[in-house]
Chains A and B, each alone.
Chain A
Amino acid sequence: MNSLPNTAPRRNLVLYFQVHQPQRLSNMRFFDIGSGNTCFDEEGNRNIVQRIARECYLPANDILLKMIRKHPNIRVAFSLSGVIIDQFDDYAPEVLDSFRALAATGAVEFLSETCYHSLACMMPGKEFEEQVLSHAEKVYEHFGVRPTVFRNTELIYNDEIGRRVSRLGFLGIMADGVEKVLGDRSPNHVFHHPDQELKILLRNYRLSDDIAFRFMEGGKPLTAEKYVSWLNALPHEDQVVNLAMDYETFGEHHKKETGIFKFMEDLLSRLAKSRSFEMTTPSQVIRVTESHSVLNVPHLISWADQERDLSAWLGNDMQRDAFDTLAGLECDIKNIDDNETIAQWRNLQTSDHFYYMSTKKGSDGMVHSYFSPYASPYEAFINYMNVLTDFSMRVQILKAGKIDHSVSVKMAIDQWPQSMGSRMTMMATH
């Protein structure tokens, strides 16, 4: 296979797709707290994952596999969150098979991320590192490869995250190519961390969003021909164009009827034949390309919303209070050291839960509510807090040394304060 670096003046092009669905929460009313209901809506999650598998993951993977067989020089990178891998395992194992088939072609690279698609980088201690390592483990277990390039949840990045990722042994990281860190530089280069042996690839958000958000802009679909003409117009000194988007762009955000799959096929075919671009993977680019310059990122950036910071998840007080309350359980959770409890706690960390609580208005607000299963951020918040309260109660019970999940809640409740009982007695005598 033609995998050696090409020294010809062809520019590199990285296509990277994010695959993720959160474990959506059960609808937990206040009175359901402590009643032994599950935190997560299994039925709902099964339906969603199976539907998106049918409409997006399976058909998109089919096209990709077909195109790779036709054009062996196609290269694509994926990041599958641990949360979605688990759900595929439970609800749609055929999707994992199709990813394995892609992995077997050698044309597909898998990236590393936090296992629970979380904001663990914002938590104290080693939670972040633990989740990154457990994700790498999961990827190896399912696809037989060990990732060498990291991408954080929604490309959240700063120098400190770069440092932590580098210490874990990663050679490269993906971040968003935002102006406030680039200044007047183009994002289409390889950069490096100010004090680590870590290369940084920046997403070209304009060209990425041209597909992800603006595919149907103006009512008619973008054509691959037009899109490739935009790529060709990029300056020749650019080293690499990184296109990154949700994989759900294909068939979910843009339905099949829009012609998104035809676009995908056409684009892959044109890129495979392109004389000015060579498709490559993140690790390959990092291996063969010299860094253009140092990238200093003192403040947190991400690919979300206009602000491209953390405000999509931790922008208002509800989000911060919910997050702090969740994070505050860490000590108890880790002392209990029960796999199921830890997994539940981490599934509650998934960034989507906080994303639903955003009170932003305007076009960002519309994107938030498109993704949210709740009627309003307040309902999202109340439901999350109810689930979290229910969960913390179980944590307290486990902490007290009772390991049986279902029975112990009721036991603890039965022992609840005598004051209540005495008031009832008093009423009865009255």
Chain B
Amino acid sequence: MKVLMFGWEFPPHISGGLGTACHGLTNSLSKENIDVLFVVPKLHGGESADRTDFISASRVPISVSGSVEQYISAGRVNPDVRTPLYQVIRQQTGVEQIEVPSSLSAYRAPSFEETSSTVSHWNYQFADTEVEVATRREPQSSTNPVEERQITEQELPSHAAYQFSGSYGTNLLEEVRRYAQVGAEIASKFDFDVIHAHDWMTYLAGIAAKKVSGKPLFVHVHATEYDRSGEQVDQRVHAIEHQGMAEADCVIAVSNWTKEIVVSRYRQPAEKVKVVHNGIIPKAATEKMFTPPPVGSHIVTFLGRITHQKGPLYFVEAARRVLERIPDAHFVIAGSGDQMPLMIERIAQLRMSSHFHFTGFLKGKDIERVWAMSNVYVMPSVSEPFGIAPLEAIQAGVPVIISKQSGVAEVMPHAIKVDFWNSQELAAAICSMLKYKSLSKTLTRNSAEEIADITWDRAAKKLTQLYYELTSQHCA
């Protein structure tokens, strides 16, 4: 069984939970004897997983002016041309890198680096004209092939690798469209049994691959536009999500919470939507260096993007009540996001700035340092499809309080759960956790046992079963 999988990021270069999830899943799928051909917009080096080959979309030549539809029809016209054009280099790590002839990568769209530490770049944001450009090009190039030739005469190669940034910047919609072209191109060159697309950025690529190959498509919903934006959904993103779900043969939801949204908001039949809870990669308990907290002794931590979805303002309201009871409590905010200004202003308004500490976006060692100094982790998400951070907190020995509006709550019977909007209850839970050490100890111990069962292996088993079910249906 071989899966053509489309992702948007993969460790070590990640900016969110999606990359971590893809990593855990591919690793565990290998144990089920599943081979994965993993496509990402851009390989940064260091990506590795068992039985997984990686393709950097930035190295796949696609028609400069062409549309997805052209690709799909081209793939169908020449079903026998299925040998890859690219040179495949297998490295020691088991990662296949696919190289394209160097002359083809000469034409590059300007790439940009995202600086996550500065306050100006957080969520994805894009120009309003982007989709318009994308749709306007299609009829031009498909009805008038001369146009395309003219472009090549202007010394632009007709096929070139599009330089993906693989980030969530202003070019995102353009990249998503280009990625679909890559999807079609790859689907026409490789053999596989199913297609698996992670989140909306890759849905169009999945659909294109399905059209070229006729193989069944799984779309994996790690988050929906409703989670990210509340009721202010971006219609363009929503449309892509809906199209992906509609054209998929099976929709994987990371929780019942998410399944509910897929069914009610995207009008998908419930029987088509399967819940596969995320897992967590087990971590060997390593000898931890004791990191002293740079501030105070009662540390309450918020770790995640500071966006509407994560409920930062509810955290602030709860903190206010906590400080009434425990005046020496301190709050560490690890992350950045578009609600950071709002959050800071509210904190300042309540004159609590000296109790709040902003670390900015963190990774690796710095996250471990935050866990090492935290007494309790709070995830007050307004809508959290799953939420892997609480599991990581527990792995690090930090007790957690999570919102009932999170998928992870479904797999954690021993966590303290509150409604995100109930600041009073949230504050009470935080105070109890800080004051009663026996409570936090018991919770930490019990949840640590609990997460032993929340594994990617379990997710992969379930997924494998679904792969086989669907392929057998297809064959029949």
Of residues 282 through 341 on chain A, the ones whose CB sits less than 8 Å from some CB of chain B are 316-322, 324-325
Q: Residues of A contacting B353 with CB < 8 Å?
A: 318, 321-322, 325, 381, 385
Contact among B290, B294, B348, B397 for A421, CB-based, below 8 A:
B290
Contact among B119, B354, B373 for A375, CB-based, below 8 A:
B119
B229 on the A face (CB < 8 A): no
Given contacts A318-B353, A430-B285, contact A420 B348 (CB under 8 A): no
Give A27 Cβ to nearest chain B Cβ, in Å: 11
B292 & A414 in contact (Cβ 8 Å cutoff): yes
B44 on the A face (CB < 8 A): no
Q: Residues of B contacting A393 with CB < 8 Å?
A: 294-295
B344 & A30 in contact (Cβ 8 Å cutoff): no
User: Which residue from chain A places its CB closest to the CB of B399 in the assembled complex?
Assistant: A423
User: Which residue from chain A places its CB closest to the CB of B357 in the assembled complex?
Assistant: A30
B292 & A416 in contact (Cβ 8 Å cutoff): yes
A389 & B119 in contact (Cβ 8 Å cutoff): no
Of residues 277 through 296 on chain B, the ones whose CB sits less than 8 Å from some CB of chain A are 285, 287-288, 290, 292-295
Contact among A317, A390, A417, A422 for B345, CB-based, below 8 A:
A317
Of residues 168 through 226 on chain A, the ones whose CB sits less than 8 Å from some CB of chain B are none
Given contacts A375-B119, A416-B292, A420-B293, contact A317 B349 (CB under 8 A): yes
A30 & B297 in contact (Cβ 8 Å cutoff): no
Q: 1/0 contact trace for B421-465 toward A, CB 8 Å?
A: 000000000000000010011001100100000000000000000
Contact among A29, A416, A424 for B293, CB-based, below 8 A:
A416
Of residues 323 through 361 on chain B, the ones whose CB sits less than 8 Å from some CB of chain A are 332, 340-341, 344-345, 347-349, 351-354, 356-360
User: Which residue from chain B places its CB closest to the CB of A325 in the assembled complex?
Assistant: B354
B344 & A33 in contact (Cβ 8 Å cutoff): no
- A contacts with B, residue count (CB < 8 A): 44
B13 on the A face (CB < 8 A): no
User: Which residue from chain B places its CB closest to the CB of A318 in the assembled complex?
Assistant: B348
Contact among B332, B354, B360 for A388, CB-based, below 8 A:
B354
B359 & A30 in contact (Cβ 8 Å cutoff): yes
Contact among A30, A321, A417, A419 for B351, CB-based, below 8 A:
A321
B344 & A382 in contact (Cβ 8 Å cutoff): yes
Given contacts A316-B348, A385-B353, contact A420 B294 (CB under 8 A): no
Q: 1/0 contact trace for A123-153 toward B, CB 8 Å?
A: 0000000000000000000000000000000
B290 & A31 in contact (Cβ 8 Å cutoff): no
A371 on the B face (CB < 8 A): no
Of residues 109 through 132 on chain B, the ones whose CB sits less than 8 Å from some CB of chain A are 118-120
Give B355 Cβ to nearest chain A Cβ, in Å: 10
Give A69 Cβ to nearest chain B Cβ, in Å: 50
Q: Which of A417, A423, A426 has the most CB of B within 10 A?
A: A423
A428 on the B face (CB < 8 A): yes
B285 & A31 in contact (Cβ 8 Å cutoff): no
Q: Residues of A contacting B292 with CB < 8 Å?
A: 34, 413-414, 416, 420
A8 on the B face (CB < 8 A): no
User: Which residue from chain A places its CB closest to the CB of B356 in the assembled complex?
Assistant: A385
Of residues 367 through 397 on chain A, the ones whose CB sits less than 8 Å from some CB of chain B are 375-376, 378-379, 381-382, 385-386, 388-390, 392-393
**A33 to B296 alpha-carbon distance, docked (Å):** 11
B295 & A389 in contact (Cβ 8 Å cutoff): yes
B120 & A376 in contact (Cβ 8 Å cutoff): yes
Given contacts A30-B357, A34-B292, A416-B297, contact A379 B397 (CB under 8 A): no
Contact among B119, B293, B351, B441 for A426, CB-based, below 8 A:
B441
Of residues 47 through 86 on chain B, the ones whose CB sits less than 8 Å from some CB of chain A are none
Q: Residues of B contacting A423 with CB < 8 Å?
A: 375, 397, 440-441, 444
**A386 to B354 alpha-carbon distance, docked (Å):** 9
Q: Residues of A contacting B410 with CB < 8 Å?
A: none
**A319 to B341 alpha-carbon distance, docked (Å):** 13
A427 on the B face (CB < 8 A): yes
User: Which residue from chain B places its CB closest to the CB of A423 in the assembled complex?
Assistant: B397
User: Which residue from chain A places its CB closest to the CB of B119 in the assembled complex?
Assistant: A376
B366 on the A face (CB < 8 A): yes
B297 & A419 in contact (Cβ 8 Å cutoff): yes
Q: Residues of B contacting A378 with CB < 8 Å?
A: 119, 340-341, 344
B369 on the A face (CB < 8 A): yes
Q: Residues of B contacting A30 with CB < 8 Å?
A: 294, 332, 357-360
Q: Residues of A contacting B287 with CB < 8 Å?
A: 428
Q: 1/0 contact trace for B356-372 toward A, CB 8 Å?
A: 11111000001001001
Q: Residues of B contacting A413 with CB < 8 Å?
A: 292, 294
**A27 to B205 alpha-carbon distance, docked (Å):** 43
Count how many pairs of residues, one from A and one from B, have CB atoms less than 8 Å apart in the complex.
Answer: 122
Q: Which of A30, A33, A413, A426 has the most CB of B within 10 A?
A: A30
**A419 to B435 alpha-carbon distance, docked (Å):** 11
Q: 1/0 contact trace for B364-404 toward A, CB 8 Å?
A: 00100100110100000000000000000000010000000
Contact among B297, B354, B437 for A389, CB-based, below 8 A:
B354
**A32 to B444 alpha-carbon distance, docked (Å):** 28
Give B360 Cβ to nearest chain A Cβ, in Å: 7
Q: Residues of A contacting B448 with CB < 8 Å?
A: 430
Q: Residues of B contacting A359 with CB < 8 Å?
A: 341, 345
Q: Residues of B contacting A381 with CB < 8 Å?
A: 344, 348, 353
**A305 to B278 alpha-carbon distance, docked (Å):** 53
Q: Residues of A contacting B357 with CB < 8 Å?
A: 30, 33, 385-386, 389
Q: 1/0 contact trace for A343-384 toward B, CB 8 Å?
A: 000000000000000010000000000000001101101100
**A297 to B121 alpha-carbon distance, docked (Å):** 45
B285 & A428 in contact (Cβ 8 Å cutoff): yes
Q: Residues of B contacting A32 with CB < 8 Å?
A: 294
A424 & B354 in contact (Cβ 8 Å cutoff): no
A375 & B120 in contact (Cβ 8 Å cutoff): yes
B348 & A317 in contact (Cβ 8 Å cutoff): yes
Contact among A320, A325, A392, A426 for B445, CB-based, below 8 A:
A426
Contact among B344, B369, B437 for A419, CB-based, below 8 A:
B437
**A28 to B293 alpha-carbon distance, docked (Å):** 15
A33 & B119 in contact (Cβ 8 Å cutoff): no
Give A411 Cβ to nearest chain B Cβ, in Å: 11
**A400 to B68 alpha-carbon distance, docked (Å):** 70
Give A57 Cβ to nearest chain B Cβ, in Å: 32
User: Which residue from chain A places its CB closest to the CB of B445 in the assembled complex?
Assistant: A430
User: Which residue from chain B places its CB closest to the CB of A379 in the assembled complex?
Assistant: B119
Q: Residues of B contacting A428 with CB < 8 Å?
A: 285, 287-288
B294 & A318 in contact (Cβ 8 Å cutoff): no
**A336 to B84 alpha-carbon distance, docked (Å):** 75
Contact among A319, A390, A427 for B397, CB-based, below 8 A:
A427
**A385 to B295 alpha-carbon distance, docked (Å):** 12
User: Which residue from chain B places its CB closest to the CB of A324 in the assembled complex?
Assistant: B351
Q: Residues of B contacting A385 with CB < 8 Å?
A: 353-354, 356-358
Q: Residues of B contacting A316 with CB < 8 Å?
A: 345, 348
**A30 to B440 alpha-carbon distance, docked (Å):** 25
**A34 to B295 alpha-carbon distance, docked (Å):** 8
9 closest cross-chain pairs (CB), A and B: A33-B294, A317-B348, A417-B297, A30-B359, A321-B348, A427-B397, A317-B349, A34-B294, A318-B348
Q: What are 29 sample pairs from A and B whose C-beta atoms fall under 8 A apart?
A: A30-B359, A31-B359, A35-B294, A316-B345, A317-B345, A317-B349, A317-B351, A318-B345, A321-B348, A321-B349, A359-B345, A376-B120, A378-B341, A381-B353, A389-B295, A414-B292, A416-B297, A417-B297, A419-B297, A419-B375, A420-B292, A420-B375, A423-B375, A423-B440, A423-B441, A424-B397, A426-B441, A427-B288, A428-B287
> Apart from A31-B294, A316-B345, A385-B358, what 10 extra A-B contacts exist at CB < 8 Å?
A30-B359, A31-B359, A31-B369, A34-B295, A359-B345, A376-B119, A420-B290, A423-B397, A423-B441, A424-B372
Question: Interface of A with B (CB < 8 Å)?
Answer: 29-35, 316-322, 324-325, 359, 375-376, 378-379, 381-382, 385-386, 388-390, 392-393, 413-414, 416-417, 419-424, 426-428, 430
Question: Interface of B with A (CB < 8 Å)?
Answer: 118-120, 285, 287-288, 290, 292-295, 297, 332, 340-341, 344-345, 347-349, 351-354, 356-360, 366, 369, 372-373, 375, 397, 437, 440-441, 444-445, 448
